[in-house]
Structure 1
């Protein structure tokens, strides 16, 4: 095989905070060959995004380069004038950001935004630009390209917005694509579709890819080489399969050890009455109303029924728009159902019923983003203590003692009680959110994507903490997640939702090992898993992927 020509070469790159001199990227050296897909993995603060942005000269104003060289296609990027950098960006180096809603202009139509790059970098007339835009929208799977030209970003789902963002970058056929966490906020099926589309487009154009991600399974599936960064340093790099199977550096081993793993199934005591039961639950969202017309309500849940037994962890999985979060919020009393009933310990919990107040005190919720669910004006002690306001028989001293006890349970000392949310890391904030949920010793907790925004190692710590608290206090849990690896680790039973309906439910082992529904199989096959391979390494594991099952049969 002929060696590929080096397209990007970074040597001894050091970036520091301008006013303190603190080094955030320390002597990083890496290379990307033409047509190669290279992954960069590491926790938050490892410097992976800063190093990638420096390739385009897009590091924040507070960051300065103290040493190092960046050569792209034989030219020194650090010596380029501003006009040369602008000519390179987009035309030769493109970037797909983590959240497309913040990188797409909400006040511009999709057509204008996609055409913008062609106007700046290509000498084409309006008709040619329109043709290229329509062709690219069709290639990335937009069903109505003509209609999309006049639409705005908010009119598309997250997955469609990411496809549009990818289309805007690939229209110019760049030589290098930098993808910064391109699928973090997407569900399993959409993640796979977007990444496969990205690989298809880049290979068709011979584009090299630098993919930044904390999703090791996705990196294992789609990259040729992987670079591991920690605290601004590259600690290890090599061919993806070889590095993951035989990691040499302790930090790489730590990352791989933090991947979710299936634990033996728990034996739960038999129970005649579920702690929470839902019967034929219907939720409608009111249609928008204008001067001359009113849209019909949209049905988010179509007669959903389920039961959660005492001490049981029931996971709800499904794609975006499946209704799983709506179900959780309706059970928590944050949405008013349009029909059906919810029972707590066998009693209806409709407002005005005898068991309503008891249920509201015994049902707590852990939200996806702890920073937005914690009041920034309140101290940690006040936030956790707020959950005890209506606890019977607890005076101020008893509440303070309980707050200290709960903070110790979640691995934070009493010193954290006087801190504010902005003084905590993401993992610490999620621990506070969990502490607030369990402070009153509830019998039922709803956890809505509680670890989706966390790093691999922090996620492992929070999951272990959650399991320990659930075992110690015996609360039941409805665990909502799109991360199937996490679900496989924590769940006793799994419910699969699609379009507001339950399509399959069963024990964790039955759903993951022998799913009956075609959608469940598609969901499980969308995200590859990593299984232990010995010596601290892992290897890629396929789930119900017919193409790969056929390939393995042929190879055998």
Structure 2
């Protein structure tokens, strides 16, 4: 029992949509004590982000406060004047957002953005502020802090941008840090590094953390207490080990049961002619031409060779910038290779012959973000039917019947046919993206991070759907992902890439249980796993340790 006063005390918080009166946060209560890390988990739409934003007074205009109280460090946030709220934001309560590229100003230099908060909240001269900024950039792992001050956000990777965002917040040493899905778009190693850095910085400043996430493994690793939210309600809260080991509420048990798990290895037919064979593939992006000099060309793929057998699911894993997406786009014909060869059913792909046409019709792609890959002006029926335009001798009635059949296969039904993409949830849009990819009954599908933006239960549904469709139609798949838990569930074989090269490949069980390359070992060591227990809960474990020794929970 914590005897100190809570730093943050939320009691009976209720928020409603102004026009409809729909309750989005209902009588929510929780506390955060100094130096503590508390996790809020739940599906999309559970109200967890709205509840956290209310702490800073960041309630959207369409949402109104219906009741409750928020006290931070003894002060009532709800009765603060706009001036007092501005003074609190940043200096006392900081927030790290999910996507740093949208929260960092793309038109401002990094140095100027970091200086803004210090100039506003600290009475320091410019040289003192600069010294503090450089120290913080070194603390978050930037190799060239001086150079970073005169760079723009787009010049950094996603992991580096998140480090800069964390630096901008921690410069002011807030008492409370709100972290809203801070590592969702990052690969396993960068995700671990960012979280460890955040924990290190908050411990040094005795900062409390409210971590909003749907990554239960990460929450289990870093949080001392967990608040579980569903449809605006807190359904369960308590010590992390108790919630995970002995969940009481059916919704919590549902969340935990939706975690990815390794299925038994599938028996595959004996190797024959690969459906797709890539030989010595090279992709090189030319350097930029300037007035006085030309930047060097960047080689994204260094002579990649892979085979995908009929009916096989081959997963490609690796960090950001490893070349896995470039590989998928090159095979799909979206990126022109600089060198090498791609064969489909044993025939080389040449744009001038019939084999290329056959390949393009039989190779389909599922993109990471369905909202940006689906035309918002087209109905679901039009979107799914579009790939059928090139099917010879297919009548409009046949096309309509095929669309209805595929919509049923992906679990939506023909009732969705006249809707538009913005009328669907993220999981439903991803189902439409899958429907578009399989409507022609292709023999090869490339899935590029198809579930990375989905919460845990929707992800489980989409993965189960993908597995059922793959078994039913027998298509081969190149599955690109940075989520090793997902890869462990779906893959027959795994290819590990680093810096545009394949460093290790083999059957899934061999890669996960006996990795030989140091980079593969590092990837597996970065990700905690959750395994089911006999009590209906889960137990935290590590697949590998940094020194390549097994860790038991």
User: Does the CA contact (< 8 Å) of 1:97 and 1:180 recur in 2?
Assistant: yes
Deviation at 1:108, TM superposition (A): 1.4
| Whole-angstrom distance in 2 between the partners of 1:190 and 1:121 | 30
Deviation at 1:14, TM superposition (A): 0.4
| Whole-angstrom distance in 2 between the partners of 1:312 and 1:550 | 30
- Paired residue secondary structure (2:132): helix
Q: Tell me the residue number matched to 1:70.
A: 70
| Whole-angstrom distance in 2 between the partners of 1:312 and 1:360 | 19
User: Does the CA contact (< 8 Å) of 1:18 and 1:64 recur in 2?
Assistant: yes
User: What do residues 302-361 of structure 1 show as CA deviations (whole Å, max 9, x unaligned)?
Assistant: 000000000000000000000000000000001110000000000001211341111001
Q: How does 1:127-276 map to 2 (within 5 A)?
A: 127-276=127-276
Q: Tell me the residue number matched to 1:379.
A: 379
| Whole-angstrom distance in 2 between the partners of 1:544 and 1:141 | 24
| Whole-angstrom distance in 1 between the partners of 2:271 and 2:386 | 32
User: Does the CA contact (< 8 Å) of 2:543 and 2:551 recur in 1?
Assistant: no
Structure 1 stretch 141-150 or stretch 317-326: which is displaced more? 141-150
- Paired residue secondary structure (2:177): strand
Q: Does 1:34 align with 2:31?
A: no
| Whole-angstrom distance in 2 between the partners of 1:489 and 1:158 | 26
Q: How does 1:263-412 map to 2 (within 5 A)?
A: 263-412=263-412
Q: Tell me the residue number matched to 1:431.
A: 431
Instruction: Mark the CA change 1:520 to 1:401 in structure 2 (over 3 Å): closer, same or farther.
Output: same
Q: Which runs of 5+ in 2 are unaligned?
A: none
User: What do residues 247-293 of structure 1 show as CA deviations (whole Å, max 9, x unaligned)?
Assistant: 00000000011111000000011132000000000001121122232
Q: Tell me the residue number matched to 1:460.
A: 460
Q: Tell me the residue number matched to 1:527.
A: 527
| Whole-angstrom distance in 1 between the partners of 2:27 and 2:283 | 55
Q: Tell me the residue number matched to 2:105.
A: 105
User: Does the CA contact (< 8 Å) of 1:7 and 1:32 recur in 2?
Assistant: yes
Deviation at 1:551, TM superposition (A): 8.0
- Paired residue secondary structure (2:389): coil
Q: Tell me the residue number matched to 1:451.
A: 451
Q: Does 1:538 align with 2:538?
A: yes
Q: Does 1:117 align with 2:128?
A: no
| Whole-angstrom distance in 2 between the partners of 1:337 and 1:77 | 56
| Whole-angstrom distance in 1 between the partners of 2:52 and 2:251 | 21
Deviation at 1:443, TM superposition (A): 0.5
Instruction: Mark the CA change 1:548 to 1:294 in structure 2 (over 3 Å): closer, same or farther.
Output: closer
- Paired residue secondary structure (2:340): strand
User: What do residues 224-252 of structure 1 show as CA deviations (whole Å, max 9, x unaligned)?
Assistant: 10100000000001111111111000000
| Whole-angstrom distance in 1 between the partners of 2:176 and 2:2 | 20
The TM-score, its normalising length taken from structure 1, stands at 0.98
| Whole-angstrom distance in 2 between the partners of 1:219 and 1:551 | 18
| Whole-angstrom distance in 1 between the partners of 2:528 and 2:114 | 32
Deviation at 1:2, TM superposition (A): 7.0
User: What do residues 37-57 of structure 1 show as CA deviations (whole Å, max 9, x unaligned)?
Assistant: 000000111000000000011
Structure 1 stretch 337-346 or stretch 396-405: which is displaced more? 396-405
- Paired residue secondary structure (1:479): strand
Q: Tell me the residue number matched to 1:83.
A: 83
Deviation at 1:294, TM superposition (A): 1.9
User: Does the CA contact (< 8 Å) of 2:542 and 2:551 recur in 1?
Assistant: no
- Paired residue secondary structure (1:169): helix
Deviation at 1:393, TM superposition (A): 2.6
Deviation at 1:550, TM superposition (A): 8.6
The TM-score, its normalising length taken from structure 2, stands at 0.98
User: Does the CA contact (< 8 Å) of 1:341 and 1:350 recur in 2?
Assistant: no
- Paired residue secondary structure (1:545): coil
Q: Tell me the residue number matched to 1:441.
A: 441
User: What do residues 12-31 of structure 1 show as CA deviations (whole Å, max 9, x unaligned)?
Assistant: 00011112211100000000
What value does the CA root-mean-square deviation take over the aligned residues?
1.3
| Whole-angstrom distance in 2 between the partners of 1:5 and 1:127 | 38
User: Does the CA contact (< 8 Å) of 1:542 and 1:548 recur in 2?
Assistant: no
Deviation at 1:549, TM superposition (A): 5.1
- Paired residue secondary structure (2:533): strand
| Whole-angstrom distance in 2 between the partners of 1:344 and 1:306 | 12
Deviation at 1:534, TM superposition (A): 2.0
